[in-house]
Structure 1
């Protein structure tokens, strides 16, 4: 079994605790479902937010996922580099998972306006 990284991103309309947690939880649930994951498969998750998202740590959304094993997944939040013209109001995650899947089998998840970040990965079948 090897380790693979799964990318995810989602945008929010407003920087409120409720919206950031809800959007991040939606993104994580979609990654988990598409890749058939359980908490024990996940080695770690790194979250970033754009400068305009600072109401809450998005990692808190992972603690709200069903099952007590999520308490043991290492999480960290960071600030995205503020590149001029980059996508605003965005939460990103890179999830390191233990899996036998090949890189081509991994399903990355880009939701809402974040589909603009990687249309090549979003439109895969």
Structure 2
């Protein structure tokens, strides 16, 4: 069965290094918390708020050892007034036998305010 694993993080500034560092940290934490291997992943969609333009977060994913062939796509979030700034959101489609309620969704930095109901 394919399940969606959600995650999000924020950066303090729009810099190439920080965007890649925080994206990698998020992906690695999502994989570790859910026992995900690259071969389990059908695809990954990454969105950023429109104030992030310094780097493609997908580069961080492809740079993780063993993840070079994971299909990854980047896009921008809707530009909604009052939305969380400098935010990177990630949706990982994973083949798993885990029930929906056992999926660990990961929110880091200021993104913890997006889904406090999913944090454990």
- Runs of 4+ residues over 4 Å off in structure 1: none
Q: C-alpha distance in 2, partners of 1:31/1:86?
A: 23
- Structure 1 length normalisation: TM-score? 0.94
Unaligned segments of structure 2, at least 5 residues:
none
Q: 1:72, CA displacement in angstroms?
A: 1.4
Mapping 1:1-125, distance limit 5 Å: 2-67=1-66, 70-122=67-119, 124=120
For structure 1, the 5+ residue unaligned runs are none
Deviations 1:54-110 (A, max 9, x none): 10110111011122xx12111100010011000000000000000000000100000
CA distance in 2: counterparts of 1:104 and 1:40, whole angstroms:
22
Write the distance in 2 (CA, Å) between the matches of 1:91 and 1:60.
13
Describe the SS at the equivalent of 2:68. Answer: helix
